[in-house]
Amino acid sequence: MTQINLTIPDMHCNGCLRAITRLAQKLDPQAQVSADLPTRRASFTGALDEAALRAALARAGYQPG
């Protein structure tokens, strides 16, 4: 199990968090996502490849920092 911590400047609301969670779960259906919206930090836990996750987020308009 991997934990990936990213800053996602374009994550502003719970709708963004739901979209980001769906993206992560397309890569790993068991992925779990937690976020702190005020700081725009997200933690992803699961069998995720960081490069693939970053690419999926960027394609969806959530360029990770």
Domain that holds residue 45: 2-59
Count of domains in the chain? 1
Q: Residue 65 domain-assigned?
A: no
Model confidence at 65: pLDDT above 90:
no
Confidence of residue 1 (pLDDT cuts 50, 70, 90): confident
Q: Residue 12 domain-assigned?
A: yes
Within its chain, how far is the Cα of 39 from the centroid?
A: 14
Statement: the pTM of the whole predicted model exceeds 0.95: no
Determine the Cα–Cα distance for residues 43 and 41; give it in Å rounded to an integer.
7
Confidence of residue 57 (pLDDT cuts 50, 70, 90): very high
CATH number, position 42: 3.30.70.100
Q: Residue 26 domain-assigned?
A: yes
Q: Residue 36 domain-assigned?
A: yes
Q: Give the model confidence (pLDDT) of 6-54 as tens digits.
A: 999 999 999 999 999 999 999 999 999 999 999 999 999 999 999 999 9
